[in-house]
Amino acid sequence: MDIDEKLAELYKSKAFSRRAKKHVRGRQHFLDIVVPPQWIDVCQGEVEALGYGCEKVEYSILRVTGRIWDGYILALNLRTASRVGITIPEFRAPSKVALIKKLQSIPWELWINPKHPIWIYSNVEHSSVRHEGFVSDALFDAVKRCFEKFGFSVKKSDSAFNEKREIEYPRQRLWINLKSNVCLIRIDMVGAHLHQRGYRKFPGKAPMLETLVAAIADLAGWQGNEPLVDGMTGSGTFAIEAAMKSRKIPPGIFRTFLFETWPSFQKKRWDYIKKQTWKEVSDEPSVPLIAVERNVDVLNMAKENASVAGVSENIQWIHGDFFEFSPADFGTPHGLLFLNPPYGKRISTEVAKLYNRIDKHIRKAYSGWKVAIVFPQKNLISKFTSVEITKIRRFPHGGLWIYVVVGRAR
């Protein structure tokens, strides 16, 4: 009997089902949404738009109270979040013995699937147990002992784990936080990072995370109901995310999630959630969406990505130079212009000249438009005079920091 057959045998027992209902499915839980602090306010707006009340409990954590399937809904629909996790109720752990005893009393077999390697993040502050390594080992040992009782073995995740393949080969993340002798454990529900929508087959050079792109669109006030021009589209991420948002296509619809492998997973409820969500999807955007790219090979890759997302026909693809493109020629008098210029890692006089050209072209062709532009360095912004700036945000991107300027073209 292989592991899948053994798990199926365990999960179908009435006793197991009753315990899963009591401890997991039948309870309210804290659902923690992990999001970069630089756009946590944007994500909070998203959560509230879905009808959930939430509070900021850490600098990068929003918390919702709900049933486990509310976690399904959040994972499926949030465009700017990184992860969704579910927490085990806090408990006091004033000593090593108390910590070990409590960790070993948790029914891990009800929560996670032993097939997936375990990756543990530990944090210890102001507690009697001071060593993070001890806390991490105690947690893994508790999980390991639990599954051994049922004839299963669990493994730790290798440090060389390939995150790019995590949708197909997920690992189970556990966060354990011991602060002032109070222990909180968070269990990751999603597996692969939520920016991995499942449609980007050709990433291109220095691609922006889909979650960051979605955050920029929200910061610019773009809600899918006004025209959009992605002037230097590259791999097409901004245009694709815009098309999905305009049509109300949920960002997680093309991928799988870790919770689908959990013993508490309710497939019928999950299918119903997806079906109800899909009823809100429109056949096409209500506004023009234009993507401009001068490199035909890059443009074709963007089209392929859009095709996987089911929105290629919803975007007007223009093979051409942004500096020769005018939206008025396409009957688009207003909207949002997004630009992520190819600035590279080093700031040079060529980059300054590029932004100077952009500045002049915006003044010439985009007067009155909303604008969202990525800058690699803050000092370039002061020389940019074509836009009345309303917001400047600093974001992490590919190991660097970028600045996103939002405003309206003069």
pLDDT digits (tens, 9 = 90+) for 55-109: 999 999 999 999 999 999 999 999 999 999 999 999 999 999 999 999 999 999 9
Task: Please report, as a single letter, which amino acid is at residue 16.
Answer: F
Q: What distance in Å separates the CA atoms of residue 3 and residue 1, rounded to the nearest whole number?
A: 7
Query: Which ranges constitute the DSSP H helices of 57-126?
Result: 68-77, 96-105
Predicted confidence (pLDDT) per residue in 316-366, tens digit: 999 999 999 999 998 888 999 999 998 876 557 889 999 999 999 999 999
Series of mean pLDDT values for 10-residue runs along the chain (410 residues): 87 92 94 98 98 96 98 98 96 97 97 96 96 97 97 86 80 97 98 94 85 98 96 96 98 96 95 97 95 97 96 97 95 94 75 95 97 95 96 93 97
pLDDT at position 34, please?
98
Mean per-residue pLDDT over the chain, rounded: 95
Closest by Cα among 220, 208, 218, 215 to 391: 220
pLDDT at position 161, please?
67
Q: What does the H/E/C string look like for 234-295? A: CCCHHHHHHHHHHHCCCCCCCCCCHHHHCCCCCHHHHHHHHHHHHCCCCCCCCCCEEEEECC
Q: Give me 291's structure tokens.
A: 């993507």
Alpha-carbon distances, residue 147 vs 10, 109, 152, 155, 410 (angstroms)? 12, 6, 5, 11, 64
- Cβ atoms of 222 and 210 closer than 8 Å: no
The separation between CA 277 and the C-alpha centre of its own chain, rounded to angstroms, equals 18
- Cβ atoms of 250 and 277 closer than 8 Å: yes
Q: Please give the domain boundaries of the chain with CATH numbers for all domains.
A: 3-34+83-188 (3.30.2130.30), 210-251+272-409 (3.40.50.150)
pTM: 0.95
Q: What distance in Å separates the CA atoms of residue 303 and residue 309, rounded to the nearest whole number?
A: 10
Q: What distance in Å separates the CA atoms of residue 396 and residue 60, rounded to the nearest whole number?
A: 14
